[in-house]
Amino acid sequence: MSPDMQDARFCLESRQSLQDLLRQERACEDLERQERASENLPLQEGIRLEIGASYNHEDEAHRSSTLQGSYGNQGPSADPPYTTFCVGVPAQNREPASLSPLSESLWKMSTDTKNIGDVSAWLCWRDLTVKVLNHKGETQTVLDNLSGYAEPGHLTAIMGPSGSGKSSLLDALAGRLSSNTIQTGLVMLNGRRRNLSCGAAAYVTQDDNLIGTLSVRETITYSANLRLPDGMIKSEKLAIVESVMAEMGLQDCADTAIGNWHMRGVSGGEKRRVSIAIEILMRPRLLFLDEPTSGLDSASAFFVTQTIRNLAMDGRTVIASIHQPSSEVFELFDKLYLLSGGKTIYFGDAAEACNFFAAAGFPCPDLRNPSDHFLRCINSDFDRVKAALKGSFRIREQENFDPLDRTTTAQVINVLLNAYRTSEYALLAIAKMHEIMKVKQTVLQSSGSQASFFMQAYTLTKRSFTNMFRDIGYYWLRLVIYILVSLCLGTIYYDVGTSYTAILARSSCAAFIFGFVTFMSIGGFPSFVEDMKVFERERLNGHYGVAAFVIGNSLSSAPFLFLISMTSSAICYFMVNLHPGFFHFLYFALGMYASVMVVEGMMMAIASIVPNFLMGIITGAGIQGMFMLVAGYFRLPKDIPKPVWRYPVSYLSFDFWALQGQYQNDLLGLTFNNGTITGEYLVKEVFQVDLNRSKWENLSVICAMVVLYRLVFFLMIKMKETVTPWLRGKVARWSLNRRKAAVHTAARNGPTYVPRLERATP
């Protein structure tokens, strides 16, 4: 079945699975009623919360009727999956009845169920302002005094034209703003100020950075092993994986690969649902999604949005930024937050947005998508479109009827801004925010990872090994190239012998092997970049730590590099007929293996700070070329200029230690030119090798560099996470304070030129 047909069957396939889960939940509730009845305890159901006396039975009936279309045989008369209760009624010993039985058992393992209260996530933000500092020190307002809230059981959509601040608002609420931004205002979760970064809330990015060689089931299973507790048995973990796939409608493509450059995989909508499934494994109560429908066709976008709505109806708080949804997708929204230029155009029920625009004087025409109409009103790009089509017949015919044709977008935005400030929607939002902020709910713990460090390292090693084994471009293609180059090298230097001309041939062969052959390891840099993208997504959501990732990557790549090194070494060594003896060959192969490992570690360190693979290859090639120049072949060690190049660059070059050791390994014990020239003379006098240091000491230095570059890789990632944002923040605030001081100085000195401090967002 094609991926598109699988997307088309999403609703029908997911209803039955969700209905089965609902039956299991009801069975658990019945058992709970029996137990509480025997203990004479009052039954507490659900997790939904209504503030004050604003509960509306019509809204509940509407949501129950909505459930009928999403979950199967459930209508207004059926028991809802949650019970609404008021703030003034304390609820003790409450458990998340909206969770599936498997997820509920997981929740009980990690939560103090005796003293826990409501586990819902009530998010509120007030007077939220975000400014970005550019390279000139000027500030640009991205978000301007935004206020709003997000409640459990509702899907809140953030809409607006490009550059309106949708992603910035999402990042500000999730605590993911970059360090060169200045954020003011208040963001509260369950009545408390809290940083939501690193696992406290799930965040689904716009880019689906997944490992393409893994199947859907393997991707979710590896993520479960990385995050679920070690004490949970394997069958329970697999059952949770299956329940999540059923919830997201991924059963039909469970054994299909995600897909990469050489492997056809799942569709775009299925890939997006896999990304969401990974983040809801730990049952987070707060979920952020950055443009989940971007790049999808209308059908796939509808299925993805319907899945997100089902997650919200399960008691979660879901906030998603949407660019321009279809009318079918728009009908799935509960709340709508409309932005333009970083300012609030409208915030309230999505179904009431058309009434607001009509009251402001810009009604939505019949047969027009409401979201298209909203963006048509607040997107200044349509002014240029209207000017380009000014002479068309359609524009002339409708210009007397459409109010948008008689005014500019800036004027429409001003009218809508003033209308919203004085509207009942703004007053209701302020009242609801005030009530939410007064109530102190349960402090939600991080939903990152509960697995041990050793389990994370083992799982990452296994997952990375599987990816490397299946991806032909990771190591298998490199193995083929190494074999071809080794055959070329072996045929050119075939049976080099011990004649006078063999002296230069042996040294040239060694320099080429430990210089140019190991140089080819930079070809794996694009694969390293893809691994770093997956790591950054999982790291930001708190799936595992940096040390586990470095260890897993190092251990998984070691067998493939060993195979490449041994194969190439055997071809080169025996075709060229270098120094006979098993231990001489062993040293040659180990030197080759250690050198390739060093290059691999160096390229991984570069990949951690240079995300662009073209720039990374250029950077790695430049460093590798510099190391080859000071290796002792193109210029003898004593002839290398001592400042910088000999001390310390030549000693930092692994090529230097590898070539020195290979000269000793190959030449010592041999005689050349019919016995007139000894190998000791060549090593000491001609190639200027220090014989006080044995070849095994040279090899040990290379092995130490293997560990050192992996440590550098680890430190680069940690610096990127901690030191770099701190420095960028310091520089940004220093630039801002400097410009403020210039403004104050200019104000004291009179009407002279004042540098512009703030630039308005177009």
For the stretch 80-111, pLDDT in tens is: 333 333 333 333 333 333 344 444 444 445 44
Q: Is the pLDDT of residue 728 over 80?
A: no
Q: d(Cα 523, Cα 603) in Å, to the nearest integer?
A: 9
Distances (CA, A) of 426 to 153, 345, 352, 423: 21, 10, 12, 6
Domain ranges for the chain, please list them: 123-201+284-438, 465-720
pLDDT at 281: 87
Name the average pLDDT for the chain. Answer: 80
Q: CB under 8 Å to 491, separation ≥6 — which residues?
A: 575
* Tokens (6 digits) for 546: 């940096």
Q: Which residue from 125, 108, 117, 103 is spatially nearest to 314, judged by alpha carbons? A: 103
Give the dihedral sign, CA 212/214/220/224.
negative
**On the CB side of 575, how many CA atoms lie within 13 Å of its CA?**
18
**Percent of the chain having pLDDT more than 70?**
77
Distance of CA 28 to the CA centre of its chain: 36
* Tokens (6 digits) for 730: 């310091």
pLDDT at 723: 81
Identify the weakest region by mean pLDDT among 24-38, 420-434, 599-613, 677-691.
24-38
Q: CB under 8 Å to 419, separation ≥6 — which residues?
A: 356, 359, 360
pLDDT at 410: 86
Q: CB under 8 Å to 202, separation ≥6 — which residues?
A: 279, 280, 282, 284, 286, 287, 288, 447, 541
- Please state, as a whole number, how many other Cβ atoms lie within 10 Å of the Cβ of residue 52: 15
Distances (CA, A) of 623 to 529, 603, 615, 747: 18, 10, 12, 51
Q: Which residues pair with 50 in a beta bridge?
A: 86
pLDDT tens digit string along 489-546? 999 999 999 999 999 999 999 999 998 888 888 888 888 888 999 998 898 888 999 9
Residue listed under structure tokens 């991984």: 604
- Please state, as a whole number, how many other Cβ atoms lie within 10 Å of the Cβ of residue 324: 18
For residues 594 and 58, the model is more confident at 594
Task: State residue 245 phi and psi, 5-degree precision.
Answer: -65, -35
pLDDT at 407: 78
CA angle 443–449–453, rounded 5-degree value? 135
Segments in 367-523 forming alpha helices (H) = 370-378, 381-388, 393-398, 409-421, 424-438, 453-470, 477-492, 500-511, 518-519
User: What is the Rg, in whole angstroms, of the alpha carbon atoms belonging to the chain?
Assistant: 32
Give the residue-averaged pLDDT of 195-215: 79
* Tokens (6 digits) for 387: 């000017």
Q: Is the CB of residue 547 less than 8 Å from the CB of residue 460?
A: no
Coil, strand, or helix at residue 159?
strand
- Please state, as a whole number, how many other Cβ atoms lie within 10 Å of the Cβ of residue 581: 11
pLDDT at 392: 55
Distance of CA 560 to the CA centre of its chain: 27
Coil, strand, or helix at residue 215?
strand
Residue listed under structure tokens 């509920």: 104
Q: Does domain 123-201+284-438 have CATH number 3.40.50.300?
A: yes
Give the residue-averaged pLDDT of 339-368: 90
| End-to-end Cα distance, the chain | 47
Backbone torsion region of residue 298, taken as left when φ is above 0, otherwise alpha when ψ lies between -120 and 50, otherwise beta:
alpha
Identify the weakest region by mean pLDDT among 354-368, 394-408, 592-606.
394-408
Q: Is the CB of residue 148 less than 8 Å from the CB of residue 186?
A: no
Q: CB under 8 Å to 525, separation ≥6 — which residues?
A: 603, 606, 607, 613, 616, 617, 620
For residues 506 and 749, the model is more confident at 506
Give the dihedral sign, CA 453/454/459/465.
positive
**Percent of the chain having pLDDT more than 90?**
43
Identify the weakest region by mean pLDDT among 219-228, 277-286, 700-709.
277-286
Would the pTM of this model clear 0.85, i.e. be above it? no
Q: d(Cα 165, Cα 345) in Å, to the nearest integer?
A: 12
Q: Is the CB of residue 154 less than 8 Å from the CB of residue 48?
A: no
Distance of CA 492 to the CA centre of its chain: 48
pLDDT at 72: 33
Backbone torsion region of residue 714, taken as left when φ is above 0, otherwise alpha when ψ lies between -120 and 50, otherwise beta:
alpha
* Tokens (6 digits) for 518: 């190991």
pLDDT at 83: 32
Task: State residue 183 phi and psi, 5-degree precision.
Answer: -110, 130
Query: b/e map of 354-390 (b: 16 or more CB within 10 Å)?
Result: eebbeebebebeeeebbbbbbbbbbbbebeeebeeee
pLDDT tens digit string along 310-343? 888 888 899 999 988 888 999 999 999 999 989 9
